[in-house]
């Protein structure tokens, strides 16, 4: 039976250490594949299933033809970035011995709807995304700045958004 130790910031540091040790021993364990399945529910509504968790709803605002029952995909993308950053802060702060008293990440992005609506060719995605991190801690400013640099340098979602990722969409 494996026991976990929840340490600073409610993070299981032992689990993180065990994973790092396992990958160091067998580097092939670092290569992972993540999955999601999305079902269309009519209109612009979808349901996303990931592992055994509760489903995640998606819809569009009324002004974009939806029924405004859930966040839209580009809002989920912003939320994914914020969640990834928050997890990075919690993990790295805990390993560094930094207690987080409060953490909030505000994210916004600029998106031009012309391409999405087929009015002009071009980029249908975000032109830019801005995140502002609000962190309260008893750590000094230098330690928080190092933490911030570490998190930004290691965010999987941040890295995915910040570079071209090969994308294949096939029709079955």
pLDDT tens for 24-56 read: 999 999 999 999 999 999 999 999 999 999 999
Q: Which CATH class is domain 72-161?
A: alpha beta
Q: Does the pLDDT of residue 6 top 80, yes or no?
A: no
Computed over every residue of the chain, the mean pLDDT equals: 95
Count of Cβ atoms closer than 10 Å to residue 46 Cβ: 18
pLDDT score recorded for residue 4? 53
Using 50, 70 and 90 to split pLDDT, how confident is the model at 116? very high
In the chain, where the domains are located: 34-71, 72-161
Using 50, 70 and 90 to split pLDDT, how confident is the model at 5? low
Q: Does the pLDDT of residue 1 top 50, yes or no?
A: no
Q: How far is residue 22's CA from residue 28's CA, in Å, rounded to a whole number?
A: 10
């Amino acid at each position: 039976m494996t026991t976990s130790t929840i340490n600073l910031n409610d993070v299981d540091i032992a689990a993180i250490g065990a994973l790092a040790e396992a990958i160091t021993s067998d580097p092939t364990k670092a290569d992972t594949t993540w999955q999601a399945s999305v079902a269309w529910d009519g209109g612009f509504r979808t349901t996303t299933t990931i592992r055994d968790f509760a489903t995640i709803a998606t819809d569009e605002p009324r002004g974009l033809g939806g029924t405004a029952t859930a966040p839209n995909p580009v809002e989920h993308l912003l939320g994914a970035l914020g969640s990834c950053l928050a997890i990075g802060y919690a993990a790295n702060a805990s390993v560094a011995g930094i207690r987080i008293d409060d953490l909030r990440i505000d994210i916004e992005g600029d998106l031009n709807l012309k391409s999405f609506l087929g009015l002009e060719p071009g980029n249908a995605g975000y032109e830019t995304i801005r995140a502002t991190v609000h962190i309260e801690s008893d750590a000094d400013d230098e330690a928080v700045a190092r933490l911030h640099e570490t998190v930004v340098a290691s965010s999987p979602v941040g890295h995915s958004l910040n570079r071209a990722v090969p994308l294949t969409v096939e029709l079955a």
